[in-house]
Amino acid sequence: MAANGVAEFDGQLTSPAGVTGRRQNGYMFIVLGGSPSGRTTLTELNAAGATVATESLSRPELLREVARREPEHPRWVWDDTSQWYPVLLAAGLAVERCHDLRLCHRILRLAEAARDTELARAQPNAWDDAPLEQTASGTALFDDVADLAEASDAGSDPGARDPIAEFTLQRAALDAVAAGSPTAASRLQLLLAAESSGALIAEEMRARGLPWSTAVHDAALTELLGPRPQFGGRPRKLQAFADSIGELLQAPGLNPDSQHDLLRALKRAGLSVTSTSKWELRSQKHPVVEPLLEYKKLSRLHSANGWAWMDAWIRDERFRPEYVVGGVVTGRWATRGGGALQLPAQVRGAVRAGDGWTLVVADAAQLEPRIIAAMSRDEKMAAAGREGDLYQGLVNAGVVDTRPHAKLAMLGALYGATTGESARLMPKLARAYPRAIGLVEHAARTGERGDQVSTWLGRSSPTPGPTWHAAQRAAAEAEATAVDERRARQLARDWGRFTRNFVAQGTAAEWALCWMAGLRIRLRALADERGEPHLAYFLHDEVIVHSPEDLTDAVTDAISAAAADAGRLLFGSFPVNFALTIVAVSSYDQAK
DNA sequence: GCTTAGAGCGCC
DNA sequence: AAAAGGCGCTCTAAGC
């Protein structure tokens, strides 16, 4: 283990954890080009990147070849896992590892450590994503990102993508990084391997699906909302709430879904509110508040995860979310459709293990505090988490008086609280843990200047865009007004809060990727005639493994061991532990 | 009729 | 008093 905590690399990736490690004899890359549905070009490269063989294959030939070569543990190199892997999985072919050129390209293009490489200097090309479609609520923060992708509208043209040329460029970029900093290169290499492993996991989870009981889901909806309406419209119980809201506000027929109408009715009834949001309503004393809050809760359930959602997303008692690996700038995953990362507690009971199977639900406790403790080598903060609950550890260390205060103070540090109780408590942490808090403070200052920050493994933050820089320039002019200065300061602080959180959230995402990658390999080894335990769900710092009941203990051990592996892989022997809560349940609502 | 912005709220 | 990071989704209202 290298002093920096990253496992030593000898150029290639293999290991017990399946993420990284030692080169084996005959290690090889197999690059797939063309298309999985049409003709494929298969090119075998040796460890040095030299072409060993190349052939053109039809689809059946491709499947045969993958099956034949996989036992040699090659790293499959392709442009986009989400395009290739489902075809293989549909044919019953799982692969151990891959290199996803698109995902790795994105990381390397933005990485500070790889700034002076040919890959980073190249004009935007087909390997750069088209700009991510903004969601309806698209944030102001990222409307202004100076993104490499902006200039690229060729991103969707796979014809312009040469996987071998791109792979060669990426390897050259890593070599160039290694020439300046072997540590930076080995970390980036680990990140690329972990990201690619994540891409495999995402497709495998989608292929398996999350076991979902439509009967339980339907029963829960019926219980809370009333029977499913035959011809649309509001379910009975929801309508009853709407009616009573209308009566209490003396506005018969009021549609509570109309913010405009609702706000007007609330004001007319004498409530002093400026919006219809929950937090503001809660402070009001009026008989309408309770039914209105209840209506909002049920209405949201109905529209977001009601029968329509069930019809759209559940097939054959499986929920198959489309995960978007690295879909968040920090490296967290997103999903496309189905809102899989926002499954409300109300419907989690519908996630049910099959007969003779169980759900092993594991989540990492206070992950981000442990991450910043390890990144900053803050032994004191790491020690506070040693016994399990890090927040309680802060209380026991006499840093704050209660656990809720510990949590509030920590969130303030991670998010950059400026007002309120959180901001008042945070300085206690800064005094007790100058290293860990100093790390996030430094990240904030860096962002405020408009500079990039990077995660532990080297995923870098985007830089602010032209509007941001224009505002800073305007404030620096001699004739700048107070308004100019206030605006510039506001934008700078906003960006600083983003970069502050980026290092913690992004490194936590890397730990989670390594955890899952290692777990996946361990689970494969557990498969026997009783069945194959497999990852079924991932939520930032939490996983669900669907497992044969008989293997519950082995799966639990695998989850713990994989977490410890991930900690060592990233942070070496630094004494931080990544505490887990692990429970085996028959349905997801029983966890937590 | 279609698209888009804002509000609001679910998850971490 | 609505503060503090990252998202996705659905709804209404408004504009084309």
Q: What is the pLDDT along chain A (592 residues), one digit of tens a residue?
A: 333 334 433 333 334 334 443 344 457 899 999 999 889 999 999 888 899 999 999 999 999 999 999 999 999 999 999 999 999 999 999 999 999 999 999 999 999 999 999 999 999 889 987 543 333 334 446 655 554 444 444 444 555 789 999 999 999 999 999 999 999 999 999 999 999 999 999 999 999 999 999 999 999 999 999 999 988 789 999 999 999 999 999 999 899 999 999 999 999 999 999 999 998 898 889 999 999 999 999 999 999 999 999 999 999 999 999 999 999 999 999 999 899 999 999 999 999 999 999 999 999 999 999 999 999 999 999 999 999 999 999 999 999 999 999 999 999 999 999 888 899 999 999 999 999 999 999 999 999 999 999 999 999 999 998 889 999 999 999 999 999 999 999 999 999 999 999 999 999 999 999 999 999 999 999 999 999 999 999 999 999 999 999 999 999 999 999 999 999 999 999 999 999 999 999 999 999 8
Output the pLDDT for position A37: 87
Q: Measured in angstroms, what separates residue A456's CA from nucleotide C2's C1'?
A: 33
Task: Using a 7 Å CB cutoff, list residues 215-254 of A near strand C.
Answer: none
Count Cβ atoms below 10 Å from residue A292 Cβ, excluding itself: 25
A283: CB within 7 A of chain C nucleic strand: yes
Output the pLDDT for position A21: 39
The angle at the Cα of A414, spanning A413 to A419, to the nearest 5 degrees, equals 50
Between β-strands A357-364 and A542-548, what pairing exists: parallel, antiparallel or unpaired?
antiparallel
A303: CB within 7 A of chain B nucleic strand: no
- Pick from A459, A435, A460, A463: nearest CA to A449: A463
Contacts 24+ apart (CB under 8 A), A237-245: A237/A298, A238/A295, A238/A298, A238/A299, A238/A302, A241/A291, A241/A292, A241/A294, A241/A295, A241/A298, A242/A295, A244/A291, A245/A288, A245/A291, A245/A292, A245/A295
Count Cβ atoms below 10 Å from residue A365 Cβ, excluding itself: 17
- Pick from A444, A439, A459, A452: nearest CA to A372: A439
Q: Which nucleotide has its C1' atom closest to residue A293's CA? A: B9
Count Cβ atoms below 10 Å from residue A52 Cβ, excluding itself: 11
Output the pLDDT for position A39: 94
Q: Which nucleotide has its C1' atom closest to residue A499's CA? A: C5
Query: Which one-letter DSSP state was computed for residue A68?
Result: H
Name the closest residue (CA) to the C1' of nucleotide C12: A258
Output the pLDDT for position A48: 84
A539: CB within 7 A of chain C nucleic strand: no
Do A416 and A499 form a contact (C-beta atoms < 8 A)? no
A146: CB within 7 A of chain B nucleic strand: no
Residue A464 Ramachandran class (φ > 0 left, ψ -120 to 50 alpha, else beta): beta
Secondary structure (3-state) at A41: strand
Phi and psi angles of residue A17, each rounded to the nearest 5 degrees, phi first: -80, -10
A588: CB within 7 A of chain C nucleic strand: no
Count Cβ atoms below 10 Å from residue A208 Cβ, excluding itself: 17
Q: Which residues pair with A44 in a beta bridge?
A: A30, A53
- Looking from the CA of A127 toward its CB, the CA atoms found within 13 Å total 26
Positions of strand B less than 7 angstroms from a protein CB:
4-12
Distance CA A4, CA A181 (A): 12
Contacts of A477 (CB under 8 A, 6+ apart): A484
CA dihedral of A330, A335, A339, A344, whole degrees rounded to 10: -50
Distance CA A81, CA A196 (A): 8
Distance CA A435, CA A359 (A): 39
Do A6 and A50 form a contact (C-beta atoms < 8 A)? no
Output the pLDDT for position A419: 87
Do A400 and A406 form a contact (C-beta atoms < 8 A)? yes
Name the closest residue (CA) to the C1' of nucleotide C8: A339
In angstroms and rounded to an integer, the radius of gyration of the C-alpha atoms of chain A is: 26
Environment class of A79 (CB within 10 Å of its CB; exposed 0-12, middle 13-18, buried 19+):
buried
Do A536 and A318 form a contact (C-beta atoms < 8 A)? no
CA distances from A163 to A54, A166, A170, A254, A447 (A): 13, 5, 10, 59, 34
H helix runs in A363-481, sequence order:
367-375, 379-384, 390-396, 403-415, 420-432, 434-448, 466-476
- Pick from A541, A549, A545, A539: nearest CA to A522: A545
Secondary structure (3-state) at A421: helix
CA-based max dimension of chain A: 80
Output the pLDDT for position A130: 59
A427: CB within 7 A of chain C nucleic strand: no
Task: Using a 7 Å CB cutoff, list residues 49-108 of A near strand C.
Answer: none
Positions of strand C less than 7 angstroms from a protein CB:
1-14
